[in-house]
Structures are given as C-alpha cells and as structure tokens.
Amino acid sequence: MSNGYDQAEESAKKKKKIAVIGVSSIILVAMVVAVAVGVNGSSSEESGATGEISTSSKSIVAICQPTDYRETCETSLSKAASNTSDPQKLVQAGFQAAIDSLNEAIKKSETLQEVAKDPMAKQALDDCKELMDDAIDDLKTSFKEVGDFDASKLHEYVDNLKIWLSATITYQQTCLDGFENTTGPAGQKMKEILTLSSQLTSNGLAMVSGLADIIRDLNLAEFTGRRLLNDKGLPSWVTTEKQRLLAETAATIKADITVAQDGSGQFKTINEAVKNIPKKSNTTFVVYIKEGIYEEQVTISRSMTHVMMIGDGANKTKITGSLSYAGGVQTFKTATVSISGNHFIAKDIGFENSAGAIGHQAVALKVQSDMSIFYNCQMDGYQDTLYSHTYRQFYRDCTITGTIDFIFGDAAAVYQNCKLVVRKPLESQRCIITAQGRNNSREATGFVIQNCTISADPAYFRLRFRNAAYLGRPWRQFSRTIIMQSEIDDLIHPEGWMPWMGSVGLDTCSYSEFENRGPGADTTKRVTWKGIKKVTPEEAADFTAAKFIDGDLWIPATGVPYTPGMIKE
C-alpha cells in the first residue's frame, strides 16, 4: 500500500494553484490532508518521534510551496509545529500564532498613539485598534467554525472562509488608509507592523481559493455538499418568525422595541433603544422606528446579531448626521449609521449624511454585516454615501444618491432593482458612482449592480455634460464591478470608467457591462484598459445573487423580493 502523505503531496504537485497557511484556512487544508490519508491508507513506517518530525517538515514544505509568501509560511508553521505531524495540533498552533501577531500589532499601535502628534493620525490609530480587533474576531470565528470538522459542510466552510479572510485583508488595509494625508511616521510604522499578518492572511486566502481543486483532485465527492438549510428548507439561521416579520409592515408588526419621538414608544431616541438589544442572539430582535427625523449617530456592534430595523418609509423614518472628513473626522468614523452585527435587516428606513459636497468624505451608512439585507431603504449623501465595507450584502429596491465614489468599499454586494442617483457636485468635480476596494486577486468580493437605474438628480441634470459622471474607478489594484441588465441614462461619459491615480489598477481591475440599456449604455467609446472585461452570458451568471453571495441560502426565506439569477423581461 502506498503512503497516504505521498499521495497527498503528489496531488499538490499536480495543482500548482493550491496555496496554503495562514490563520483559520490552514485548518481546512490539514483536514483535507488528514482525510486523504484516511481514504487512501497510511503507512506504519513513519512512526515514532523521528518520523513525526520528518513528516511534519515534509508536509510544511509541500504545503507552503505555492503560497504568495513562502518563507513566511514555512517559518510560521515550523515554529507552530512543535515537532508534531498531527494536522489538528499543527493548524491550531499556527492559527494561534497568527492571532498573536495581530495582538502584538495592537500593542505596538498603542505605543504609536503615545507619540503621534497629528490629530488625524491619532484617530487613525484608534481606528486601527478597532479594525484589528475585528480581524481577530473573524479569525476566531473561522477557527470555531471549522474546529469541529464536518465533511458535508466543506462548501459552506470554503465560502465563509473566503469572505472572512477577504474581510481580514480589508480591515488591515482600512487601517492603513487612515494615515493618508497625515503627518509624522505613524503611517509607515503601522504598515511595517502589519506586514506579517498581511502576508499570513494573503497566504490563507490563496489556500482557501484552491480548496475546491484539492477536493476534486482527491475525488472526495462527499465534501462538495451544501447543508445550510434546515428541515423546513430555510437557511439555518432563519426562523419562520423572521420570514413572517419581513412580510409584514410597520403598521402590523409586533416589535420588541418601538422608538417614537412623540413618546408613544418605549424610547424617544434610537441610541436609547440600541442599549437594550440583546447580545449574540440567534433570534430576530425587531426595532420599529416610527416616522421622524432622528439626528443621531447609531452603531449596531458586532455582538448585536439578528437585528431588524423597520421604519414607516424611507422618506418618513430618517436617521441623519453630518460628520465629515472636511470637519476633521476620519472617513471610517463619519458614518451616520454603522452596522457590524451579522444578519442585520433594514426595511423602509432612510440613512443620510447631510454634510454636503463641501464636506468631502461623509458616510451615511457603513455596513460590516455578513448576510445583511437592505430593502426599500434610501441612502443620501454626496461623497462616500454608502460604505459597503465587508462581507455579503444584498440591497433591493433601494435609492442611493451621491456625487463621488458614493458606493465604495470591499464587500461582496449585490444591488438589485435599485435607483442610483447622481447629485450636483462642487464646481470642479466629476462624479463617480462606484469605487470598489478589492486589494487581492483572490478576494471573493466585488460590486454587482443588476437591473438598476442610473440617472441624474434634477439639480445635476443641466450640468451632467460639464461635470461628467462615470460608472466607477479602481480604488484598489483588483477593484471589481459589473453593471448588468441596468438602465443607464446619458449622464455617463462615453468612456464609462475613469482612472483613480495614473495607471494604478488599470490592467488588474475587473470592470464589465452586460446587457444594459439606455443612452449611457453604449460601450463603443469605452476606455480600453486591460481591466475592462467583456463577459459571456455564462460568466455574467457567476455574478448573480445566487452564485456570487450564496443568496439562495439566506435571502428568499426572509420574504424580501429577490431574483437569484438573470432578470427576464
């Protein structure tokens, strides 16, 4: 009988795409190797301490060969291995080392805070601590998810890990973003501090991206199943109660908490109500916000899961604020409403940042909530209106207004049947709808704008040819956006897309248009960067909600209108 580890190595050689290590992702590759050994048989020749060390070292070299940062991979795993060939112990040790690296980065950032003099740099360091905490939480969640390994859930694990690791990469980049236009050495030092953790997460994402190929090579067909649905055909986290709630209106719904400025609810402000939201709940908690303009900055933290907010209408229930970068606040903290708790749902609510075009970066809504839904909502602002920061997001029948990069971030987000309205900018400004921030070619992120309308606000309409509007620009090197089956008015410049800064990202971005209509949909005069992709119907189908964000597993049961594939006339 041949040695199982040799067979696993042979499989790895055949697939040079496989990349491994880093945080939670290495757990899965070790599990696959372990199962391969069990399936194909293992040799008794390599027993004892010497055999364990040999097997461990050999496995590390083979595993790390195709990673982006091989030396980092081999060094970190060698330290974590502790002379063991037990895959579970190996990956747990490596996982903890990665978390320790981020914890060390937090400590060093606190030291930088003591010497930083630039007020904006101090804010950036505060943001970095929060963002690194978020990254650590994702890694811990990944570890918990795959620690109790179940082969039938591997597809679910792979999809989740790609999203979570993409977010971890984004959080580290967002930390560094905060130091743009600041003085002093803090930004460069922070970049150096995050080098190791950035490499580890990049390697980890590479491994996860190749997991499906590993499984296919090993013929482990039983690993390919999806089992997110419960016995009733609903996603595991969706109850029949949640399905019923989303089908109702504010007039008929029975809320857990009601907010009303006239005193007819338990609370007069949203922030008072938020204090009473249970932590880490698996049961939908409904907050009904009655008609009114609420001048508040609201945060739904990571610990507030399964929260639903419902209003009396996007133009009747509005949450508004005016924090802005021009006003001395880092973009990350300008959001009027910030959502971080997973499985968040909003219906019939308006989100606004009223700082105006003169405020420059001024976020109305920031979303870091996995499997979050916004239905019949409105996001109003100018520059950076909607910060679709991380994870899987679905927007249906929403209106989003702004001037520059007014849909930005690095989420895997689908905007379906939405109205994208360009507003009047400052005198010398051009308008850009999207600025997607994918920073690694393997990230499972991008913006999909499907069956939407792109039009001009009345105040902008007469200026639309002077202050040209564009579909997007590459905020990061691998920025990805597809506009499909949408109505595009004549406000869009014939070139369609504009550069961010010089040639950055023009060859590596992925921008596509598919089956659009209207005077602005003519692609004959579009820019001809390498990053402009013509997609086939089959390729476009990969960006539909069912495939791109696993929409079938969590959207239909909520009662929100939803088209899983292409929209038919």
At residue 290, φ and ψ (nearest 5 deg) are -70, 165
> Are 394 and 380 contacting, i.e. CB atoms less than 8 angstroms apart?
no
Helix/strand/coil for 178: coil
- Cα gap 73→54, rounded to integer Å: 17
Q: Which of 406, 404, 358, 360 is nearest to 380 (CA)?
A: 406
- Residues 93, 99 contacting (CB under 8 angstroms): no
Q: What size, in residues, is the chain?
A: 569
- Residues 518 and 512: their CA atoms lie apart, in Å, by 16
Judged by DSSP in three states, 22 sits in coil
- Evaluate whether 286 touches 310 at the Cβ level (below 8 Å): yes
In 3D space, the residue among 262, 331, 323, 258 whose CA is nearest the CA of residue 297 turns out to be: 323
Strand partners, 482: 448, 512
Tokens 């190791």: give the residue.
196
Specify which residues 401 forms β-bridges with: 421
Instruction: Classify strands 480-484 and 446-450 as parallel, antiparallel or unpaired.
Output: parallel
Closest to 171 (Cα-Cα) out of 199, 131, 200:
131
Known catalytic residue: 405?
yes
Long-range contacts of 531-536 (CB under 8 A, 24+ apart): 531/474, 531/479, 531/505, 531/506, 531/507, 532/497, 535/482
- Please list the alpha-helical segments (H only) found in 116-228: 119-147, 154-177, 186-193, 195-217
Look at residue 283 and give its three-state secondary structure: coil
Say whether 58 sits in a helix, a strand or coil.
Answer: helix
DSSP H stretches of helix in 417-559: 458-461, 537-541, 545-548
d(CA 516, CA 488): 7
The catalytic residue among 217, 405, 410, 552 is 405
DSSP string, 96-108: HHHHHHHHHHHHH
* Helix (H) / strand (E) containing 374: strand 372-375
Helix axis angle for 195-217 and 87-115, nearest 10°, is 150
Cβ(208)–Cβ(309) below 8 Å: no
Would you give the DSSP letter of residue 239?
Answer: -
CA separation for the pair 444, 425 (Å, rounded): 32
Which residues participate in catalysis according to the annotation?
405
